[in-house]
Amino acid sequence: MKHVDEFRDPAKARALAAEIRQLARQIGRGPDNPLLVMEVCGGHTHAIFRYGIQQLLPDTIEFVHGPGCPVCVLPMGRVDDCVALAERPEVIFTTFGDAMRVPGSRKSLLKAKAEGADVRMVYSPLDALQLARDNPGREVIFFGLGFETTMPSTAMTVLEAKRQGIDNFSLFCNHITIIPTIKAILDSPGMQLDGFLGPGHVSMVIGTAPYQFIAQHYRKPLVVAGFEPLDVLQSLWMVLRQIVDGRCEIENQYGRIVPEHGNEVALRSVQEVFELREFFEWRGLGSIDHSGVRVREAYAQYDAERKFPVPNLKIADPKSCQCGEVLKGAIKPRDCKVFGTACTPQTPLGSLMVSSEGACAAYYQYARIDTSRLREDRQDKVSA
């Protein structure tokens, strides 16, 4: 606990908050025109709310919650594809726990399991490979999802399956990449951001060099941040320091974990197994070119999309659900018309309320929002 406590020191947090307030005064924004800093990663969103970081800051600084939750950006049609695969009688469908309750247009994987599909939660793709080894008469599919953080473990599992000659294992690949996503956000009409807190876990794999275009082309500072409260505060301080100095650079606050050039072993395995898709559909962001990966032809025998028929339909989100606007940073979760009423962690309409990294789940769990007041406010607006 000693090392964790070092990153949660209240005195240091107060000192950093005081320096942040001083920098904010130097920048000179008002509450009606606050500094907008996007934390790309959903893990940062939860840290901000869990530790009350926003409450330490002046009202001239506002966090914008980005699309860095891979479960949250999964479009409804891909969930339907998962269910279709899981309902095949010869299939054992394996997935991380976060994805079990994400709603599709008909049902979630959890509901499919309750109705008899063999859906199993695993902690790593190697668990799925072990199931394939133990059940040679069944087809085991692993639901591969996540940014570059989880991509290497999936790639290495495919390589291990080939090495061992296990042919009843395959991957339903939904892995996505962070750089095209940030570019799509920066290119969005009307999107005004002053800086970024960069994702720590993704950067552990890809390093910091791929973010250089953000500073060089878009003239926005980005600081790769850790996940403890002092990490987040120091990273925000570093962003504001750049703004005061008139600099736009890529800096690395999370140097104890993130190397400049990433993890070469992990990157090699990803390069060997995966290739970029021409485009991939994101919930709320639409189709983004080269933002997803697929299994290379050399490993086609481990690709569930080649091995089994997949519906691959585009399904629109329910009209009442505003996950898309939240993902783009256009609105806050509390502004969604079903947040905390029709949409709760127990009865989610959208993926942002399901995932452990979802912004709506963070607001619901930590923000102490009076959902009864939300209901009354909405009723008053309808009556007016």
255-271 pLDDT tens trace: 999 999 999 999 999 99
Q: Which residues pair with 303 in a beta bridge?
A: 171
What are residue 292's DSSP bridge partners?
A: 176
Which pLDDT does position 360 carry in this prediction? Answer: 83
What residue spans of the chain are helical by DSSP H? 2-6, 10-27, 42-50, 53-56, 76-86, 109-114, 125-134, 151-164, 178-186, 200-206, 212-216, 229-245, 264-273, 304-307, 323-327, 359-366, 371-383
Average pLDDT score, the chain: 89
pLDDT at position 324? 73
Residue 285: band (very low, low, confident or very high) from pLDDT cuts 50, 70, 90: confident
Residue 150 or 367, more confident: 150
What lies within 8 Å, CB to CB, of 49 at 6+ separation is 362, 363, 365, 366, 367
pLDDT of residue 313: 76
Evaluate if residue 376 carries a pLDDT over 90: no
Least confident segment among 59-68, 273-282, 359-368? 359-368
pLDDT value of residue 381: 52
The string of DSSP letters for 59-86 reads: TTEEEEEEEE-TTTT--HHHHHHHHHHH
Q: What percent of the chain has pLDDT over 90?
A: 63
Ordered structural domains, the chain, with CATH: 2-66+179-244 (3.40.50.11750), 76-177+262-307 (3.40.50.11740), 323-383 (no CATH)
Per-residue pLDDT tens over the stretch 144-158:
999 999 999 999 999
pLDDT band at residue 348 using 50, 70 and 90 as cut-offs: confident
User: By the 8 A CB rule, do 48 and 62 touch?
Assistant: no
Q: Which of 70-74, 337-341, 352-356, 358-362 has the lowest mean pLDDT?
A: 352-356
Instruction: State residue 287's pLDDT score.
Output: 86
When pLDDT is averaged across residues 171-188 and rounded to a whole number, the result is 92
Per-residue pLDDT, 115 = 97
What pLDDT does residue 306 have? 95
Please report, in angstroms and rounded to a whole number, the separation of the first and last CA atoms in the chain.
54
φ/ψ of 20, rounded to 5, equals -65, -40
